[in-house]
């Protein structure tokens, strides 16, 4: 089956630094990928839609200058949290839709746990 | 846009059944169901695309009432491995394919 990877799986950084998270579709091409954020014991909140070759589409309330998204190829999307602060600490998960054996499926990456000190 | 899930939590004995409901105020293209274990990413269970569609995976099945914009997940003869948080994700009609809004989740605990 299709696999989506994320790197790094865990990152701890100081307040004010920027952190880049990569999301890769390993055996399929994804013109669209999605970025979610999940705080402890809460639901997944859609942050933005990453579009290959064009600008990302951000959900209402998500700062596009703070969460920079780049979808440079059909298999890679990156999320950069700029000038991270403790309130940005969260579990960041990407996903990519795929048609696997004729069925529409959504594959999630394993997630990246960000802790900002 | 966020669908409403109920109940918030379910506690079962192994072998018992459970139903988790998901409803949306928007016209839906599809409903997805996921299970998430603590500290892990969600795992895809199934997607329902057509009104009246029902799907099953082992002893976990789901239905989708397109007219009512509702879906239900049925877990029969629950096993210990079914424990986790279940999320429904809805895809609005006319939206970008794969763009999901998730419910708050239902925490399922199965005891031996």
- The answer to whether the Cβ–Cβ distance between A109 and B41 falls below 8 Å is yes
Q: How do A10-13 and A112-116 pair as beta strands?
A: parallel
Locate B101 and state its tokens: 């809004």
Q: How far is A11 from chain B (nearest CA, A)?
A: 14
- The answer to whether the Cβ–Cβ distance between A104 and B49 falls below 8 Å is yes
Torsion sign across C-alpha atoms B3, B4, B10, B15: negative
Average pLDDT over chain A, rounded to an integer = 91
Q: Flag whether pLDDT at B26 surpasses 80.
A: yes
**For position B51, what pLDDT does the model report?**
65
- The answer to whether the Cβ–Cβ distance between A43 and B30 falls below 8 Å is no
- The answer to whether the Cβ–Cβ distance between B32 and A106 falls below 8 Å is yes
| pLDDT confidence tier of residue A16, bands split at 50, 70 and 90 | very high
Q: Flag whether pLDDT at A103 surpasses 90.
A: no
Residue B8 burial (10 A CB sphere; 0-12, 13-18, 19+) = exposed
Summarize the confidence of residues A85-94 as an average pLDDT.
96
Q: Say whether B92 sits in a helix, a strand or coil.
A: strand
Q: How far is A109 from chain B (nearest CA, A)?
A: 7
Q: Flag whether pLDDT at B53 surpasses 70.
A: no
Summarize the confidence of residues B18-35 as an average pLDDT.
93
**For position B41, what pLDDT does the model report?**
86
**For position A8, what pLDDT does the model report?**
96
**For position B52, what pLDDT does the model report?**
62
Q: Flag whether pLDDT at A109 surpasses 80.
A: yes
Q: Flag whether pLDDT at B3 surpasses 90.
A: yes
């Amino acid at each position: 089956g299709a696999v989506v990877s994320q790197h790094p799986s865990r990152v701890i950084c100081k307040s004010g630094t920027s952190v880049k998270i990569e999301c890769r579709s390993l055996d399929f091409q994804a013109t669209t990928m999605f970025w979610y954020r999940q705080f402890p014991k809460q639901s997944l909140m859609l942050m933005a839609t990453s579009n290959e070759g064009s600008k990302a589409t951000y959900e209402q309330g998500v700062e596009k200058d703070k969460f920079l998204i780049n979808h440079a190829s059909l298999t890679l999307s990156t999320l950069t949290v700029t000038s991270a602060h403790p309130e940005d600490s969260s579990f960041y998960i990407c996903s990519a839709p795929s048609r696997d054996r004729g069925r529409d499926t959504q594959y999630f990456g394993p997630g990246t746990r960000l802790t900002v000190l | 846009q966020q669908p409403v899930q109920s109940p918030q939590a379910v506690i079962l004995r192994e072998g018992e059944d459970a139903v988790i409901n998901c409803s949306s105020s928007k016209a839906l293209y599809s409903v997805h169901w996921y299970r998430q274990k603590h500290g892990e990413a969600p795992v895809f269970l199934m997607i329902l695309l057509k009104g009246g569609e029902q799907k099953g995976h082992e002893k976990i099945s789901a239905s989708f009432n397109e007219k009512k914009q509702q879906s239900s997940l049925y877990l029969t003869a629950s096993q210990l491995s079914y424990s986790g948080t279940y999320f429904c994700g809805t895809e609005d009609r006319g939206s970008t394919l794969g763009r999901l809004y998730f419910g708050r989740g239902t925490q399922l605990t199965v005891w031996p």
